[in-house]
Structure 1
Protein backbone atom coordinates (compact mmCIF):
# COMPACT_ATOMS: atom_id res chain seq x y z
CA UNK A 1 0.00 0.00 0.00
CA UNK A 2 1.14 3.50 -0.81
CA UNK A 3 1.97 5.39 2.39
CA UNK A 4 0.61 8.77 1.30
CA UNK A 5 -2.71 10.60 1.54
CA UNK A 6 -3.91 9.55 -1.92
CA UNK A 7 -7.02 11.71 -1.60
CA UNK A 8 -4.70 14.68 -2.33
CA UNK A 9 -3.59 13.29 -5.70
CA UNK A 10 -4.99 15.19 -8.69
CA UNK A 11 -2.50 13.96 -11.32
CA UNK A 12 -0.53 10.77 -11.94
CA UNK A 13 2.38 11.12 -14.34
CA UNK A 14 4.29 8.24 -15.88
CA UNK A 15 7.57 7.60 -17.60
CA UNK A 16 7.08 5.00 -20.36
CA UNK A 17 10.16 2.80 -20.88
CA UNK A 18 10.75 0.66 -17.81
CA UNK A 19 7.44 1.72 -16.23
CA UNK A 20 4.52 1.30 -18.66
CA UNK A 21 6.63 -0.86 -20.99
CA UNK A 22 9.29 -3.44 -20.22
CA UNK A 23 12.94 -2.43 -19.98
CA UNK A 24 13.91 -4.70 -22.86
CA UNK A 25 12.54 -3.62 -26.23
CA UNK A 26 12.71 -4.95 -29.76
CA UNK A 27 13.89 -2.76 -32.62
CA UNK A 28 12.13 -2.69 -35.98
CA UNK A 29 14.19 -3.05 -39.15
CA UNK A 30 14.05 0.77 -39.37
CA UNK A 31 15.54 1.06 -35.87
CA UNK A 32 12.33 2.19 -34.17
CA UNK A 33 11.82 0.76 -30.69
CA UNK A 34 8.88 -1.64 -30.40
CA UNK A 35 7.31 -1.67 -26.95
CA UNK A 36 4.94 -4.00 -25.19
CA UNK A 37 2.13 -2.58 -23.07
CA UNK A 38 0.03 -4.04 -20.29
CA UNK A 39 -3.70 -4.31 -20.96
CA UNK A 40 -4.59 -3.85 -17.29
CA UNK A 41 -2.52 -0.65 -17.21
CA UNK A 42 -4.57 0.50 -20.20
CA UNK A 43 -7.86 -0.24 -18.47
CA UNK A 44 -6.82 1.69 -15.34
CA UNK A 45 -5.51 4.65 -17.36
CA UNK A 46 -8.71 5.04 -19.40
CA UNK A 47 -10.87 4.68 -16.28
CA UNK A 48 -8.82 7.29 -14.42
CA UNK A 49 -9.26 9.71 -17.32
CA UNK A 50 -13.03 9.10 -17.35
CA UNK A 51 -13.45 9.76 -13.62
CA UNK A 52 -11.40 12.96 -13.62
CA UNK A 53 -7.94 11.95 -12.45
CA UNK A 54 -5.40 13.71 -14.67
CA UNK A 55 -3.03 11.20 -16.27
CA UNK A 56 0.10 12.35 -18.07
CA UNK A 57 3.14 10.91 -19.81
CA UNK A 58 6.62 12.41 -19.58
CA UNK A 59 9.07 10.38 -21.64
CA UNK A 60 12.39 10.88 -23.34
CA UNK A 61 11.19 8.65 -26.19
CA UNK A 62 9.45 10.01 -29.23
CA UNK A 63 7.47 7.47 -31.24
CA UNK A 64 4.08 7.74 -32.89
CA UNK A 65 2.99 4.39 -31.44
CA UNK A 66 3.36 5.62 -27.86
CA UNK A 67 1.42 8.80 -28.59
CA UNK A 68 -1.34 6.85 -30.35
CA UNK A 69 -1.63 4.31 -27.51
CA UNK A 70 -2.05 6.86 -24.73
CA UNK A 71 -4.18 9.32 -26.69
CA UNK A 72 -6.48 6.37 -27.45
CA UNK A 73 -6.86 5.81 -23.71
CA UNK A 74 -7.85 9.43 -23.14
CA UNK A 75 -4.53 10.87 -21.97
CA UNK A 76 -4.36 14.55 -22.91
CA UNK A 77 -0.87 15.41 -21.64
CA UNK A 78 1.79 13.45 -23.50
CA UNK A 79 5.22 15.06 -23.27
CA UNK A 80 7.50 13.19 -25.66
CA UNK A 81 11.18 13.79 -26.35
CA UNK A 82 11.51 15.24 -22.85
CA UNK A 83 15.29 15.25 -22.51
CA UNK A 84 15.00 17.09 -19.20
CA UNK A 85 11.79 15.89 -17.57
CA UNK A 86 11.66 18.53 -14.85
CA UNK A 87 10.93 21.18 -17.51
CA UNK A 88 7.90 19.26 -18.80
CA UNK A 89 6.79 18.65 -15.21
CA UNK A 90 6.94 22.34 -14.32
CA UNK A 91 4.96 23.21 -17.46
CA UNK A 92 2.21 20.79 -16.41
CA UNK A 93 2.11 22.24 -12.89
CA UNK A 94 1.75 25.72 -14.34
CA UNK A 95 -0.85 24.73 -16.95
CA UNK A 96 -3.18 23.12 -14.41
CA UNK A 97 -2.35 25.07 -11.25
CA UNK A 98 -1.12 21.92 -9.51
CA UNK A 99 1.04 21.76 -6.39
CA UNK A 100 3.83 19.22 -5.98
CA UNK A 101 1.95 17.44 -3.18
CA UNK A 102 -1.00 16.83 -5.55
CA UNK A 103 1.12 14.89 -8.03
CA UNK A 104 2.30 11.28 -8.21
CA UNK A 105 5.13 10.42 -10.60
CA UNK A 106 6.09 6.86 -11.51
CA UNK A 107 9.63 6.50 -12.83
CA UNK A 108 12.39 3.94 -12.95
CA UNK A 109 15.75 5.48 -13.86
CA UNK A 110 18.09 8.46 -13.47
CA UNK A 111 16.28 10.83 -15.90
CA UNK A 112 13.21 10.59 -13.61
CA UNK A 113 15.00 11.59 -10.40
CA UNK A 114 14.55 15.37 -10.57
CA UNK A 115 10.80 15.02 -10.94
CA UNK A 116 10.57 12.27 -8.34
CA UNK A 117 12.33 14.44 -5.77
CA UNK A 118 9.77 17.22 -6.34
CA UNK A 119 6.43 15.41 -6.41
CA UNK A 120 4.44 14.60 -3.32
CA UNK A 121 4.24 10.91 -4.10
CA UNK A 122 7.13 9.26 -5.96
CA UNK A 123 6.59 5.62 -7.00
CA UNK A 124 8.53 3.06 -9.01
CA UNK A 125 8.46 -0.53 -10.25
CA UNK A 126 10.36 -3.15 -8.27
CA UNK A 127 13.06 -3.32 -10.95
CA UNK A 128 13.82 0.42 -10.86
CA UNK A 129 17.42 1.49 -10.31
CA UNK A 130 18.70 1.91 -6.75
CA UNK A 131 18.75 5.72 -6.88
CA UNK A 132 15.08 5.86 -7.86
CA UNK A 133 14.08 3.33 -5.21
CA UNK A 134 15.85 5.45 -2.58
CA UNK A 135 13.55 8.46 -3.26
CA UNK A 136 10.33 6.49 -3.76
CA UNK A 137 7.53 6.50 -1.23
CA UNK A 138 6.21 3.32 -2.84
CA UNK A 139 7.95 0.50 -4.69
CA UNK A 140 5.41 -1.61 -6.56
CA UNK A 141 5.69 -5.38 -6.39
CA UNK A 142 5.40 -5.33 -10.21
CA UNK A 143 8.25 -4.91 -12.67
CA UNK A 144 8.09 -2.30 -15.41
CA UNK A 145 5.61 -3.12 -18.16
CA UNK A 146 3.78 -5.66 -16.02
CA UNK A 147 1.02 -3.75 -14.28
CA UNK A 148 2.75 -0.95 -12.37
CA UNK A 149 0.30 1.59 -13.83
CA UNK A 150 -2.72 -0.46 -12.77
CA UNK A 151 -1.23 -0.95 -9.31
CA UNK A 152 -0.79 2.75 -8.52
CA UNK A 153 -3.90 4.04 -10.30
CA UNK A 154 -6.15 1.47 -8.63
CA UNK A 155 -4.81 2.50 -5.21
CA UNK A 156 -5.43 6.19 -5.93
CA UNK A 157 -8.94 5.63 -7.28
CA UNK A 158 -9.89 3.31 -4.40
CA UNK A 159 -8.69 5.90 -1.86
CA UNK A 160 -10.74 8.56 -3.64
CA UNK A 161 -13.86 6.39 -3.87
CA UNK A 162 -13.69 6.37 -7.68
CA UNK A 163 -12.83 2.70 -8.31
CA UNK A 164 -15.86 0.82 -9.67
CA UNK A 165 -18.04 3.76 -8.59
CA UNK A 166 -20.29 4.00 -11.64
CA UNK A 167 -20.99 2.72 -15.15
CA UNK A 168 -17.69 4.22 -16.40
CA UNK A 169 -15.93 1.27 -14.78
CA UNK A 170 -17.68 -1.35 -16.89
CA UNK A 171 -16.68 -0.29 -20.38
CA UNK A 172 -13.92 1.10 -22.50
Structure 2
Protein backbone atom coordinates (compact mmCIF):
# COMPACT_ATOMS: atom_id res chain seq x y z
CA UNK A 1 0.00 0.00 0.00
CA UNK A 2 2.93 2.37 0.59
CA UNK A 3 3.77 2.18 -3.12
CA UNK A 4 0.17 3.11 -4.00
CA UNK A 5 0.28 6.12 -1.64
CA UNK A 6 3.57 7.30 -3.18
CA UNK A 7 2.11 6.96 -6.68
CA UNK A 8 -1.09 8.75 -5.63
CA UNK A 9 0.92 11.64 -4.22
CA UNK A 10 2.41 12.26 -7.70
CA UNK A 11 -0.91 12.34 -9.61
CA UNK A 12 -1.73 15.62 -11.39
CA UNK A 13 -4.17 14.16 -13.94
CA UNK A 14 -6.90 11.68 -13.00
CA UNK A 15 -8.59 10.02 -15.97
CA UNK A 16 -11.78 8.00 -15.73
CA UNK A 17 -13.50 5.57 -18.03
CA UNK A 18 -17.25 6.16 -17.81
CA UNK A 19 -19.39 3.05 -18.36
CA UNK A 20 -18.76 0.62 -15.51
CA UNK A 21 -16.57 3.12 -13.64
CA UNK A 22 -18.55 6.34 -13.20
CA UNK A 23 -21.77 4.42 -13.93
CA UNK A 24 -22.89 0.91 -13.07
CA UNK A 25 -22.24 -0.13 -16.66
CA UNK A 26 -25.86 -0.55 -17.68
CA UNK A 27 -27.04 1.30 -20.77
CA UNK A 28 -30.65 2.48 -20.88
CA UNK A 29 -32.47 3.57 -24.02
CA UNK A 30 -35.95 5.00 -24.37
CA UNK A 31 -38.24 4.22 -27.33
CA UNK A 32 -36.73 7.12 -29.29
CA UNK A 33 -33.25 5.64 -28.82
CA UNK A 34 -32.11 8.29 -26.33
CA UNK A 35 -29.52 7.02 -23.90
CA UNK A 36 -29.72 7.29 -20.12
CA UNK A 37 -27.09 6.65 -17.46
CA UNK A 38 -27.01 7.04 -13.69
CA UNK A 39 -24.12 8.75 -11.94
CA UNK A 40 -23.51 8.74 -8.18
CA UNK A 41 -23.37 12.15 -6.49
CA UNK A 42 -20.51 11.00 -4.24
CA UNK A 43 -18.38 10.34 -7.32
CA UNK A 44 -19.24 13.81 -8.62
CA UNK A 45 -18.22 15.41 -5.33
CA UNK A 46 -14.91 13.57 -5.44
CA UNK A 47 -14.20 14.84 -8.95
CA UNK A 48 -15.03 18.41 -7.89
CA UNK A 49 -12.63 18.06 -4.94
CA UNK A 50 -9.83 16.83 -7.19
CA UNK A 51 -10.23 19.92 -9.36
CA UNK A 52 -10.35 22.15 -6.28
CA UNK A 53 -6.93 20.87 -5.23
CA UNK A 54 -5.34 21.25 -8.64
CA UNK A 55 -5.70 17.73 -10.01
CA UNK A 56 -6.97 17.84 -13.59
CA UNK A 57 -9.87 15.45 -14.31
CA UNK A 58 -10.57 13.78 -17.66
CA UNK A 59 -13.32 11.49 -18.91
CA UNK A 60 -12.08 9.08 -21.59
CA UNK A 61 -14.67 6.74 -23.04
CA UNK A 62 -14.99 4.67 -26.20
CA UNK A 63 -18.70 5.42 -26.49
CA UNK A 64 -20.28 8.51 -28.00
CA UNK A 65 -22.56 9.98 -25.34
CA UNK A 66 -24.27 13.33 -24.92
CA UNK A 67 -25.21 12.18 -21.40
CA UNK A 68 -21.50 11.99 -20.51
CA UNK A 69 -20.92 15.43 -22.01
CA UNK A 70 -23.81 16.83 -19.95
CA UNK A 71 -22.52 15.28 -16.72
CA UNK A 72 -19.02 16.61 -17.41
CA UNK A 73 -20.42 20.09 -17.98
CA UNK A 74 -22.29 19.95 -14.65
CA UNK A 75 -19.05 19.03 -12.89
CA UNK A 76 -17.00 21.55 -14.92
CA UNK A 77 -14.80 18.79 -16.27
CA UNK A 78 -13.29 20.26 -19.42
CA UNK A 79 -11.31 17.23 -20.58
CA UNK A 80 -14.19 15.17 -21.98
CA UNK A 81 -13.22 12.67 -24.64
CA UNK A 82 -15.94 10.46 -26.12
CA UNK A 83 -15.79 8.02 -29.04
CA UNK A 84 -12.11 7.38 -28.28
CA UNK A 85 -10.77 4.37 -30.21
CA UNK A 86 -7.31 4.43 -28.53
CA UNK A 87 -7.50 5.46 -24.88
CA UNK A 88 -3.74 5.25 -24.36
CA UNK A 89 -2.99 7.63 -27.24
CA UNK A 90 -5.64 10.06 -25.99
CA UNK A 91 -4.37 10.04 -22.40
CA UNK A 92 -0.78 10.50 -23.64
CA UNK A 93 -1.97 13.47 -25.71
CA UNK A 94 -3.72 15.05 -22.72
CA UNK A 95 -0.69 14.53 -20.48
CA UNK A 96 1.69 15.98 -23.08
CA UNK A 97 -0.55 19.02 -23.60
CA UNK A 98 -0.57 19.59 -19.83
CA UNK A 99 3.20 19.10 -19.57
CA UNK A 100 2.88 15.96 -17.45
CA UNK A 101 4.73 12.67 -17.52
CA UNK A 102 2.70 9.47 -17.56
CA UNK A 103 4.03 8.87 -14.03
CA UNK A 104 1.81 11.79 -12.95
CA UNK A 105 -1.30 10.27 -14.52
CA UNK A 106 -3.89 7.99 -12.93
CA UNK A 107 -6.52 6.02 -14.83
CA UNK A 108 -9.57 4.26 -13.39
CA UNK A 109 -11.32 1.72 -15.60
CA UNK A 110 -13.19 -1.54 -15.39
CA UNK A 111 -12.81 -3.66 -18.53
CA UNK A 112 -10.52 -4.79 -21.33
CA UNK A 113 -10.53 -1.52 -23.37
CA UNK A 114 -8.90 0.14 -20.33
CA UNK A 115 -6.03 -2.30 -19.81
CA UNK A 116 -3.58 -0.82 -22.29
CA UNK A 117 -3.75 2.69 -20.87
CA UNK A 118 -3.70 1.35 -17.30
CA UNK A 119 -0.41 -0.41 -18.02
CA UNK A 120 1.23 2.92 -18.93
CA UNK A 121 0.12 5.28 -16.15
CA UNK A 122 1.69 5.93 -12.78
CA UNK A 123 -1.40 4.72 -10.91
CA UNK A 124 -4.12 2.40 -12.21
CA UNK A 125 -7.36 1.74 -10.38
CA UNK A 126 -10.56 -0.24 -10.82
CA UNK A 127 -13.99 -0.39 -9.19
CA UNK A 128 -14.66 -3.35 -6.93
CA UNK A 129 -16.77 -5.03 -9.60
CA UNK A 130 -14.29 -4.61 -12.46
CA UNK A 131 -13.85 -7.56 -14.78
CA UNK A 132 -11.47 -10.05 -13.08
CA UNK A 133 -8.92 -9.79 -15.90
CA UNK A 134 -8.65 -6.08 -15.16
CA UNK A 135 -9.05 -6.19 -11.39
CA UNK A 136 -6.00 -8.41 -11.04
CA UNK A 137 -3.78 -6.03 -13.01
CA UNK A 138 -4.29 -2.68 -11.29
CA UNK A 139 -2.37 -0.93 -8.53
CA UNK A 140 -5.51 -0.23 -6.46
CA UNK A 141 -9.08 -1.49 -6.32
CA UNK A 142 -12.09 0.17 -4.73
CA UNK A 143 -14.38 -1.59 -2.31
CA UNK A 144 -17.35 0.06 -4.04
CA UNK A 145 -18.87 -0.93 -7.36
CA UNK A 146 -18.72 1.19 -10.50
CA UNK A 147 -21.31 3.96 -10.37
CA UNK A 148 -21.78 3.41 -6.63
CA UNK A 149 -18.95 5.42 -5.10
CA UNK A 150 -15.90 3.68 -6.56
CA UNK A 151 -14.60 6.87 -8.17
CA UNK A 152 -15.14 8.77 -4.91
CA UNK A 153 -13.02 6.24 -3.02
CA UNK A 154 -10.27 6.74 -5.60
CA UNK A 155 -10.55 10.54 -5.38
CA UNK A 156 -10.35 10.31 -1.58
CA UNK A 157 -7.21 8.17 -1.87
CA UNK A 158 -5.57 10.82 -4.09
CA UNK A 159 -6.60 13.66 -1.76
CA UNK A 160 -5.37 11.78 1.31
CA UNK A 161 -2.04 10.89 -0.30
CA UNK A 162 -1.51 14.54 -1.23
CA UNK A 163 -2.28 15.80 2.27
CA UNK A 164 -5.50 17.69 1.51
CA UNK A 165 -8.06 15.93 3.70
CA UNK A 166 -7.41 17.44 7.14
CA UNK A 167 -7.39 21.01 5.83
CA UNK A 168 -10.51 20.36 3.78
CA UNK A 169 -12.38 18.96 6.78
CA UNK A 170 -11.19 21.78 9.04
CA UNK A 171 -12.44 24.35 6.52
CA UNK A 172 -15.83 22.63 6.31
CA UNK A 173 -16.46 22.62 10.06
CA UNK A 174 -15.08 26.10 10.74
CA UNK A 175 -17.83 28.56 11.74
CA UNK A 176 -18.99 30.97 9.04
CA UNK A 177 -16.77 34.05 8.93
CA UNK A 178 -13.86 32.35 10.72
CA UNK A 179 -10.45 32.59 9.04
CA UNK A 180 -8.05 29.72 8.68
CA UNK A 181 -5.68 29.79 11.66
CA UNK A 182 -7.70 32.41 13.52
CA UNK A 183 -10.96 33.02 15.27
CA UNK A 184 -14.05 34.89 14.16
Normalising to structure 2: TM-score of the pair?
Answer: 0.85
2:21 maps to which of 16, 19, 22: 19
Secondary structure of 2:80 counterpart: strand
Instruction: Tell me the residue number matched to 2:155.
Output: 153
Please report how far the alpha carbon of residue 28 of structure 1 lies from its aligned counterpart in structure 2 after TM superposition: 1.8
Instruction: Give the secondary-structure state (helix, strand or coil) at the position aligned to 1:135.
Output: coil
The partner residue of 1:75 within 74, 77, 100 is 77
Q: What is the CA–CA distance in structure 2 between the aligned matches of 1:138 and 1:14, rounded to whole Å?
A: 14
SS at the partner of 1:57?
strand
- Structure 2 gap ranges (5+): 173-184
Deviation at 1:77, TM superposition (A): 0.6
Q: Runs of 4+ in structure 1 displaced over 3 angstroms?
A: none
The Cα shift of 1:82 comes to 0.5
Structure 1 unmatched ranges of 5 or more: none
Query: 1:134, 1:150 → 2: CA distance?
Result: 20
Name the TM-score, length of structure 1 as normaliser: 0.91
Name which one, 1 or 2, has greater alpha-carbon Rg.
Answer: 2
What SS does the aligned partner of 2:84 have?
Answer: coil
Aligned equivalents of 1:87, 1:101: Cα separation in 2 = 15
1:18-45 alpha-carbon deviations (Å, 9 max, x no partner): 0000122221222233100000011111
**Cα pair distance change 1:3/1:152, threshold 3 Å:** farther
What are the Cα deviations for residues 59-116 of structure 1, in whole angstroms up to 9, with x where unaligned? 0122222112112212111111112211211111210111121111000011111100
CA RMSD of aligned residues (A): 1.8
Q: Distance in 2 between matches of 1:122 and 1:42?
A: 19
The aligned counterpart of 1:117 is 119
Aligned residues: 169
Q: Indicate if the aligned counterparts of 2:35 and 2:67 stay in contact, CA closer than 8 A.
A: no
